[in-house]
């Protein structure tokens, strides 16, 4: 009886506590971004090592960014030409590429001060959260807008970061298109390029 | 130059704002060292050039290419560069032909001074953004395409005088992608 009681407690714990931990961020887009900014600030503290920053940023990105969605977006119209096997291969490759690129860009910053300002609801699927990276003695203030995917209102995900009006996802998409077009539309050449990037970085 | 382009674009409100800023900052701001105009409500609304003016008039960007020192540009913006020269007061102060015509100008400066001024402006821009360029170079799989994309997005935003990307770009591609 006592054993059964502990088994029940065990299942109750893992049914309620753990799922809550994996969805620990707020479902409100503005609060969601505020929490991410606060977490990133802690991770990017000057006292932390590069390895620690990379590890923590990778874990965070896997939870808060819609990497699969960004991957499909960056393929543009070429995504319609992929077979199911190629889609699977691309999703894995893109995730590896994205995480390398994402952490490499962010670990250059230490102790960023970002104010989350306001939100603009575009439609039920997208909300733009506007924020400002505050000016320092060396650098001017920079506006940062976050395109938040809110199709599942309980679990918002970031799909794009727009710095001073310049979309990182759009830049990525045009970069990928350039690689494919310069190889006569051969999408497998993009896969090779991504593999090389992951290997060399 | 911004004031002239405001007028050419029919942006008379912005032209008035910039004229007021020039008047206040060149006097109360001690030749532009300080910026009291912003405190009086005349905020800096960004620079305008002749390439943007042609864009507002409806010209397409044309081909993209990279010029030595000046950097990325398009056919429209390269034509705009020529227009900028004639709208830039610094050019009129330094250009010899203007001196010979007795209109404006200054004997102490030659036309070369103008090109040094433009050239050092480009170098200054690069030095201020060197970390961003390094990061871009390190993370790009096609640097030329990345720079092209960023340049064209930036110009479209400036032509539309938009504060964010949302108003200037078609986001319909996002609508097709559902992952949850």
**A147 to chain B, closest Cα gap in Å:** 10
Write A85-88 long-range contacts (CB < 8 A, 24+): A86/A187
Give B143 to chain A, closest Cα distance, Å: 8
Q: Is A72 on the interface with B (CB under 8 A)?
A: yes
* A72 → closest Cβ in B141, B157, B177: B177
- Work out the percent of chain A whose per-residue pLDDT is above 70: 88
Query: Does the global pTM surpass 0.80?
Result: no
Long-range contacts, stretch B68-73, CB < 8 angstroms, 24+ apart: B69/B119, B69/B122, B69/B123, B70/B118, B70/B122, B71/B122, B72/B147, B72/B148, B72/B151, B73/B151
pLDDT in tens, chain A (201 residues): 555 655 555 554 444 444 444 457 999 999 999 999 999 999 988 888 888 999 999 999 999 999 999 999 999 989 989 999 999 999 999 999 999 998 888 877 777 889 999 999 989 999 999 999 998 877 788 899 999 999 999 999 999 999 888 899 999 999 999 999 999 999 999 999 999 999 988
Q: Do B165 and A165 touch (CB under 8 A)?
A: yes
- In chain A, residues 156-185 whose CB comes closer than 8 Å to chain B: 157, 159-160, 162, 164-167, 170-171, 173-179, 182
> Which of A130, A171, A176 lies closest to B150 in CB terms?
A171
Positions of chain B with pLDDT under 70: 92-118, 121-122, 125-126, 128, 163-171, 180
Q: Residue ranges of the domains in chain B?
A: 1-46
**B150: which chain A residues are within 8 Å (Cβ-Cβ)?**
166, 171
The closest CB to that of A76, out of B150, B157, B173, belongs to B173
ipTM > 0.90? no
Please tell me chain A's helix, strand, coil percentages from 3-state DSSP, rounded to the nearest 5: 60, 20, 25
CB atoms within 10 A of CB A87: 15
Print burial letters for B132-164: b (CB count within 10 Å at least 16), e (below 16): beebbeebbbbeebbbbbbbbbebbbbbbbeeb
Chain A nearest-CA distance from B147, in A, is: 8
Closest CA to B49 of B18, B10, B13, B8: B8
* B154:A152 CB<8 A: no
């Amino acid at each position: 009886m006592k054993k059964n009681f502990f088994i029940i407690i065990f299942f109750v714990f893992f049914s309620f506590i753990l799922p809550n931990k994996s969805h620990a961020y707020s479902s409100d887009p503005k609060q969601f971004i505020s929490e991410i900014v606060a977490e990133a600030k802690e991770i990017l503290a000057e006292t932390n090592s590069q390895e620690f920053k990379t590890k923590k940023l990778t874990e965070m990105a896997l939870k808060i960014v819609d990497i699969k969605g960004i991957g499909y977006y960056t393929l543009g119209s070429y995504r319609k030409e992929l077979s199911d096997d190629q889609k699977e291969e691309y999703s894995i490759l893109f995730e590896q590429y994205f995480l390398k690129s994402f952490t490499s860009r962010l670990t250059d910053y230490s102790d960023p001060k970002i104010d989350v300002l306001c939100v603009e609801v575009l439609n039920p699927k997208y909300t733009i959260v506007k924020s400002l990276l505050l000016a320092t003695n060396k650098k001017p203030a920079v506006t940062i807008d976050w395109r938040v995917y809110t199709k599942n209102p309980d679990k918002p995900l970031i799909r794009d970061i727009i710095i001073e009006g310049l979309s990182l996802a759009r830049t990525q998409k045009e970069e990928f298109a350039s690689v494919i077009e310069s190889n006569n539309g051969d999408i497998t050449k993009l896969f090779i390029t991504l593999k090389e990037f992951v290997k060399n970085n | 130059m911004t004031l002239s382009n405001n007028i050419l674009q029919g942006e008379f409100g912005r032209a008035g704002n910039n004229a007021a800023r020039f008047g206040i900052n060149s006097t109360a701001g001690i030749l532009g060292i300080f910026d009291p105009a912003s405190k009086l409500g005349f905020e800096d609304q960004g620079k305008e050039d002749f390439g943007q003016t042609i864009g507002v008039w409806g010209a397409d960007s044309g081909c993209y290419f990279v010029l030595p020192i000046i950097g990325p540009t398009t056919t429209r913006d390269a034509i705009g560069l020529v227009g900028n020269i004639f709208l830039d007061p610094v050019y009129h102060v330094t250009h010899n032909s203007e001196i010979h015509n007795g209109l404006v100008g200054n004997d102490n400066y030659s036309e070369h001074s103008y090109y040094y001024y433009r050239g050092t402006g480009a170098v200054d821009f690069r030095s201020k953004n060197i970390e961003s360029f390094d990061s871009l170079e390190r993370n790009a799989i096609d640097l030329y395409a990345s720079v092209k994309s960023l340049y064209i997005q930036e110009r479209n935003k400036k032509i539309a005088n938009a504060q964010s990307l949302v108003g200037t770009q078609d986001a319909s591609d996002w609508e097709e992608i559902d992952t949850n």
